[in-house]
Structure 1
């Protein structure tokens, strides 16, 4: 069931006007009430300020770590050592809101273990006010169906929610992505898979979209907006990559494959969108290896070009792994031409391919006569086909 995105969300409202006006200034609040029972042992008096030292006293180090905060975090199950490595400045703050953040997340269904993990990996979370958290949660809930979905993302990627205190930027990003033709289902996938997209500055996201539109126009595309939507829908990480990486990958593909503009456009807009996500060096290395390997098997550059157009994910497979899979198939009696025609067989691990070949060889399966479609099937379907072959072989005896 697809969610319907409403342009008015709670107190912060997804309106065209300034959001800041609808938000109260962020102010850290030290709870005066008791921490919930689970955290009761973690309550320590917090030193808010110190009396000025006498001139005769030794000089106190500037901004020492807040000892009561460290004790509180330890009793909450937070990995203080990890927190210190991630964001050491947080542990020197006098005012923090670990109690309020914990209570807030518990109220949304997060377990104590998840809360401790979130703070361990992203300590800055305890500097956020309850007002800010409520506003941000409301915005996320305009996209997700349940609080549990948000909690699961925070457990995996706490920085996606706590990284910025700029809720107005989040609203702007949501508006911007909707303006590209993305719907609630698309936004849900983006937040689930690449949540940092929404904590990027609006300007950064706009730079990537501008680049994609320029690429579309340069390659002769007639609908830049649709091109951008297609690329983002197929490559959910594209907006958190650098424009330099994307531009360089386009140049590498064009130079290595000698593609026509229309071919390159179709590749990027289609199943090849993920190629833009690869690091430049990884892409170059895999292209070079593929070219050399195919050449050693008697293939031409046109074969490589056709292979990548039909199965662009081959460029995601590391050089050693790809060579191992190809060698395994060739040793098992599969021809290179059969691999070129059915490249999806390379989706499976070398071990999986080896086991299937061994089972089929025991039944004297003829790949030249029957083809290799049987190798490109789920475990369940392969087992069912194998069972039929066994029954057929038995009936021939």
Structure 2
């Protein structure tokens, strides 16, 4: 047999074993590898051999598990940090249970971070009682970075708010300081786009800061929604749109905190009362509160006007369109003004012809009426009572001068 043939025959038995294994066995080898301080990886090697010890298959399985000992150490470390923070805040008089309930992660912050935040508030001239009140309502402020807090203060001061006013804002609206500053800046930029003056923006930041912090691009979204709905009733060009939104924003900034659903609901309710086309535009522009209050408040004012002047629904909507601010007053306030005017001799018809008279308080109406009456003014209607203070003083002066000459 040739050497080449001999080699072939020697290989055949081995091939036969692979093709027809009679028996097999499996050997498992486990190896533990520590990947990091917190994790252990177990590699299991499975080897399958035939009865002659020849390799049939081999594969590796990987199991990963956490190192329970290290996890326990980490847990103890976090618990220690939490206890240190809790002890520090308790010593200062904070309600730590309330903080834990409202923001559990705050208690796990580094103690230095908590201390730095409190020092930051103290540097604004906030006393510990005020800080405790702020934190109880917005605990996460303790975990905000100093850069985050400083950005909010710098923004307020950019609009000329004093340190005292900044403290007033954070005391009344701590959530303002918890949102990203870019959310606030974006809403402020849109107000500037509407040509709202810096002075007016400063006033809104001071009295109604949540207008700018409630939602990212929230002011713009509400403006677009209002315009889209109103344009279906009353065509407007861009200049009219901007003037209307600017007027609304300056007179009733809280409207721009409302959700789209609330805006849609209130406009639909106004339409159901008969305010359509230009009337709808007029009411929304000159009494933006109609988009903020609940429908039943609008209904109460509508019913009062209707009953006071004995009008049908169409005439009631027409009268309110002439003076949309009817919606701003409570019925009992409107009734007191109507009663006073009737007591001095004016009829309901005269009052209806000058609805703007409801803008003035009972005391102001009384004072103006008496001054004019004593000077000899002959009332034919109520228009004179709606004039400016200077115009009324000039009228009284002229009447008194003419009386002296005579």
Q: State TM-score, norm by structure 1.
A: 0.64
Please say if 1:202 is aligned against 2:219: no
Moved more, 328-337 or 229-238: 229-238
1:332-381 deviation per Cα after TM superposition (whole angstroms, max 9, x unaligned): 21222332343333233345545766x56994966634746247665x98
1:40-72 deviation per Cα after TM superposition (whole angstroms, max 9, x unaligned): xxxxxxx97557xxxxxxxxxx99x93541331
| Partner Cα distance (1:368, 1:362) in 2 | 8
2:146 matched residue in structure 1:
130
1:289 matched residue in structure 2:
304
Query: Judging changes above 3 Å, is the alpha-carbon distance between structure 1 residues 335 and 139 closer, same or farther for their aligned structure 2 residues?
Result: same
What SS is found at the alignment partner of 1:326? helix
Shift of residue 248, structure 1, vs aligned partner: 2.4
Matches within 5 A, 1:1-397: 49-50=78-79, 66-73=86-93, 80=95, 84=98, 88-89=102-103, 93-95=107-109, 99-110=115-126, 114-115=130-131, 117-119=133-135, 121-144=137-160, 146-162=162-178, 164=179, 166-182=180-196, 184-202=198-216, 204-223=218-237, 226=242, 227-259=244-276, 261-269=277-285, 271-295=286-310, 299=311, 304-350=316-362, 353=365, 359=370, 363=374, 368-369=379-380, 371=382, 373-374=384-385
Unaligned runs of 5+ in 1: 1-46, 52-61, 75-79
Query: Judging changes above 3 Å, is the alpha-carbon distance between structure 1 residues 374 and 238 closer, same or farther for their aligned structure 2 residues?
Result: closer
Contact 1:325/1:350 (8 A) holds in 2:
yes
| Partner Cα distance (1:182, 1:105) in 2 | 31
Shift of residue 253, structure 1, vs aligned partner: 2.4
What SS is found at the alignment partner of 2:273? helix
| Partner Cα distance (1:143, 1:154) in 2 | 15
Query: Judging changes above 3 Å, is the alpha-carbon distance between structure 1 residues 385 and 86 closer, same or farther for their aligned structure 2 residues?
Result: farther
Query: Judging changes above 3 Å, is the alpha-carbon distance between structure 1 residues 145 and 72 closer, same or farther for their aligned structure 2 residues?
Result: closer
| Partner Cα distance (1:86, 1:294) in 2 | 58
Query: Judging changes above 3 Å, is the alpha-carbon distance between structure 1 residues 171 and 352 closer, same or farther for their aligned structure 2 residues?
Result: closer
| Partner Cα distance (1:71, 1:387) in 2 | 68
| Partner Cα distance (2:405, 2:313) in 1 | 45
RMSD: 4.3
Q: State TM-score, norm by structure 2.
A: 0.63
Aligned length: 324
Query: Judging changes above 3 Å, is the alpha-carbon distance between structure 1 residues 303 and 90 closer, same or farther for their aligned structure 2 residues?
Result: same
What SS is found at the alignment partner of 2:235? coil
Please say which structure displays the higher CA radius of gyration: 2
1:10-46 deviation per Cα after TM superposition (whole angstroms, max 9, x unaligned): xxxxxxxxxxxxxxxxxxxxxxxxxxxxxxxxxxxxx
Contact 1:90/1:123 (8 A) holds in 2:
no
Contact 2:384/2:392 (8 A) holds in 1:
no
| Partner Cα distance (2:362, 2:92) in 1 | 50
Contact 1:338/1:371 (8 A) holds in 2:
yes
Contact 1:356/1:375 (8 A) holds in 2:
no
1:267-312 deviation per Cα after TM superposition (whole angstroms, max 9, x unaligned): 423x2333222222111121122112211xxx56565344323321
Structure of greater relative contact order (alpha carbons < 8 Å, 6+ residues apart):
1
1:29 matched residue in structure 2:
none
Query: Judging changes above 3 Å, is the alpha-carbon distance between structure 1 residues 86 and 147 closer, same or farther for their aligned structure 2 residues?
Result: farther
Contact 2:302/2:316 (8 A) holds in 1:
no
